[in-house]
Amino acid sequence: KESQAEKFQRQHMDPDTSTVTASYCNEMMKRRNMTVGQCKPVNTFIHEPLPDVQVICFQGNVTCKNGKPNCHQSSSKMRITDCRLKKGSKYPKCDYQTQQLQKSIIVACECVQYETVDFDGSV
Ligand code: UDP
Ligand code: UDP
Ligand code: UDP
């Protein structure tokens, strides 16, 4: 079974993409299995090396949106792409808006290795 840390990487990590095209989200949301059964409404991909994302677990501690205490905000801005389902897009045709951003991100961390397990937002 896919672990929560593996799920985070599948859903949110894309370190090797430098040029994001308009069709990026349509391709990536499908390739990463987020258009199975339903179109996942919002998803962020992070274009930074995994170690740079994992160290966020040792940066500013903040409360998660769900009230849990294990979220952390990156001290530097990161290159990210937000994928947002377009209004009127109907499953199984998942049509996304692709938006490249440079923002501080908030992730949830768990376990002894302090792995990132959830993307909580960007600010
Ligand atoms: N997978 C799965 N459940 C999921 C997502 C993926 O069993 O919810 C399996 C999928 O069938 C494939 C592997 O995990 O065998 C890799 O999935 P994906 O295509 O998302 O990998 P990526 O492109 O992120 O490397
Ligand atoms: N999410 C994301 N980027 C964002 C906001 C949300 O990738 O900027 C994803 C993330 O996987 C999160 C999920 O969307 O776990 C649900 O987010 P949230 O709980 O904020 O959305 P809601 O449940 O309120 O629709
Ligand atoms: N999680 C957490 N803090 C949060 C949100 C989620 O520790 O604020 C953990 C949750 O317990 C689970 C993992 O993150 O182990 C993934 O959560 P979920 O499957 O709800 O995330 P999504 O699939 O929406 O990205």
From the CA of 46, how far away is ligand 2's center (Å)? 14
Which pLDDT value is given to residue 113? 66
Nearest atom, ligand 1, residue 36 CA:
8
DSSP 67: S
d(CA 54, CA 29): 22
From the CA of 25, how far away is ligand 1's center (Å)? 17
Where does the chain show beta strands of DSSP type E? 42-46, 61-62, 71-73, 78-85, 96-103, 105-110, 115-122
From the CA of 95, how far away is ligand 3's center (Å)? 25
Which pLDDT value is given to residue 115? 83
Ligand lying closest to the C-alpha of residue 32: 1
Q: Which residues of the chain have pLDDT under 50?
A: none
ipTM metric: 0.76
Nearest Cα residue to 100 out of 12, 19, 31: 19
